[in-house]
């Protein structure tokens, strides 16, 4: 118990410091990238800063595995350089026991990561995308459980289904006059964006006047609007930013409508495997740091930890993309890198036990 607290406290503090540093660095580059978009609409420097701040929870969630491997490498490295790790080992603590102690600390990171990824990040990310799209396009745009909503002048638009390839389904357009009275409503089964305009299909239009309500049907019609696919992409949260419940709901919806759900299934398994990736990154330090080795500088250990974390992150990304391109089951393509690392750790710890 004393060992758990002593080692765990060091890893916790250094990992949080590493996470803070990584978030600060990546946020700075994100801000520089956002500054290129300032001047569009009402999107200025303050709006760019607000956007970056709102994306910090999502960024923290993505950087957690890298921060944990840096923290565990640095913490165990400090113990090794001061010979404390050698004392711990010679006192009868095996590598497996040390690994078990690190797992307890890893569970703290898992709880924090899950809370951020499931509760904080989806909400803040949606707010970030919404505020950015409103500032840049001067349109009220948001994504709700009832689909995508936007305002185009005196018109209000509701799109229930957003599909790849600049296609949408179940479009509702409500047109108001200058007195804010509803004058017509349009319902189209689907639409496709081409040559800077929407082509609506299977349209039912209802016109409302003081005397009567008239309804008629059209096969196709052109619809010129400020709304374009870029605006929809701005406010629509990417699959990897959704919560597990949100992903499951959307996967169910896509399958019910015979649409491809590969990206969302992949994002779902990424969410499931992320806690195991955090544990794997912490345990990897027990295989890399050797108490009998000559003293190694803290900066070098931090660099090695960062290199391992970034490499693992890149391999995860590549594996996921290869899974989509070559039709490999998402469960296998997403979990394979983590399973490989855990297998190596298990083999190494048992070999040296």
Mean pLDDT, residues 317-340 taken together: 90
Across 97-135, b (16+ Cβ under 10 Å) vs e yields ebbebbeebbeebbebbbebbbeebbebbbebbbbbbbb
For the stretch 53-75, pLDDT in tens is 999 999 999 999 999 999 999 99
Of 281-285, 301-305, 307-311, minimum mean pLDDT range = 301-305
For the stretch 70-79, pLDDT in tens is 999 999 888 8
**CATH assignment of 154-225?**
2.60.450.10
**Domain residue spans of the chain:** 2-138+237-352, 154-225
Q: How confident is the model at residue 33 (pLDDT cuts 50, 70, 90)?
A: very high
Structure tokens at 251: 């996967």
Rg (alpha carbons) of the chain, rounded to whole number: 26
Q: Which residues are CB-contacts of 61 (< 8 A; sequence separation ≥ 6)?
A: 113, 116, 117, 121, 274
The yes-or-no verdict on residue 133 having pLDDT over 80 is: no
Mean pLDDT, residues 107-130 taken together: 91
Q: What are phi and psi of 221, to 5 degrees?
A: -165, 150
Kindly report the average pLDDT of the chain as a whole number. 85
* The pLDDT of residue 295: 64
Among 2-11, 307-316, 320-329, the range with the most confident prediction by mean pLDDT is 307-316
* The pLDDT of residue 353: 47
* The pLDDT of residue 164: 60
Of 87-101, 146-160, 227-241, 302-316, minimum mean pLDDT range = 227-241
Q: How confident is the model at residue 291 (pLDDT cuts 50, 70, 90)?
A: low
CA proximity to 300, closest of 77, 25, 9, 13 = 77
pTM score, whole prediction: 0.79
Mean pLDDT, residues 97-108 taken together: 89
The yes-or-no verdict on residue 145 having pLDDT over 70 is: no
Where helices occur in the chain by DSSP H, the ranges are 2-35, 45-54, 56-81, 84-90, 95-115, 121-137, 229-235, 244-256, 262-288, 298-326, 330-352
Q: How far apart are CA 38 and CA 61, in angstroms?
A: 27
Tell me if 311 sits within 8 A of 123, measured CB to CB. Answer: no
The yes-or-no verdict on residue 214 having pLDDT over 50 is: yes
Give the rounded percent of residues in the chain with a pLDDT score beyond 90: 37
Q: How confident is the model at residue 196 (pLDDT cuts 50, 70, 90)?
A: confident
For the stretch 150-182, pLDDT in tens is 877 778 888 887 766 677 888 999 988 888 888
Tell me if 349 sits within 8 A of 286, measured CB to CB. Answer: yes
Tell me if 73 sits within 8 A of 285, measured CB to CB. Answer: yes
């Amino acid at each position: 118990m004393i060992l758990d607290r002593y080692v765990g406290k060091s890893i916790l503090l250094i990992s949080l410091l590493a996470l803070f540093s990584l978030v600060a660095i990546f946020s700075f580059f994100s801000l520089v990238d956002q500054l290129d978009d300032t001047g569009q609409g009402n999107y200025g420097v303050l709006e760019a800063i607000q956007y970056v701040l709102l994306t910090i929870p999502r960024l923290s969630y993505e950087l957690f595995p890298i921060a944990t491997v840096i923290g565990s490498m640095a913490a165990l490295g400090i113990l090794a350089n001061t010979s404390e790790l050698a004392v711990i080992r010679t006192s009868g603590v095996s590598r497996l026991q040390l690994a078990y102690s690190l797992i307890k600390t890893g569970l703290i990171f898992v709880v924090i990561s899950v809370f951020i990824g499931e509760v904080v990040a989806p909400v803040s990310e949606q707010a970030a995308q919404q505020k950015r799209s409103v500032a840049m396009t001067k349109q009220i745009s948001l994504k709700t459980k009832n689909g995508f909503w936007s305002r185009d002048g005196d018109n209000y638009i509701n799109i229930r289904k957003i599909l790849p390839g600049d296609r949408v389904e179940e479009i509702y357009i409500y047109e108001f006059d200058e007195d804010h009275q509803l004058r017509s409503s349009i319902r189209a089964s689907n639409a496709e964006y081409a040559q800077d305009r929407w082509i609506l299909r299977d349209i039912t239009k209802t016109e409302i006047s003081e005397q009567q309500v008239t309804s008629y049907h059209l096969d196709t019609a052109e619809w010129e609007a400020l709304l374009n696919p870029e605006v929809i992409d701005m406010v629509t949260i990417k699959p990897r930013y959704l919560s597990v419940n949100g992903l499951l709901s959307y996967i169910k919806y896509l399958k019910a409508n015979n649409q491809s759900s590969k990206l969302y299934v992949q994002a779902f398994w990424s969410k499931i495997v992320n806690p195991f990736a955090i544990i794997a990154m912490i345990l990897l330090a027990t295989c890399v740091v050797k108490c009998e080795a000559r003293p190694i500088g803290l900066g070098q250990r931090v660099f090695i930890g960062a290199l391992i974390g970034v490499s693992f992150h890149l391999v995860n990304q590549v594996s996921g993309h290869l899974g989509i391109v070559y039709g490999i089951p998402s469960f296998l393509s997403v979990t394979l890198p983590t399973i490989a690392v855990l297998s190596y750790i298990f083999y190494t710890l048992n070999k040296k036990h």
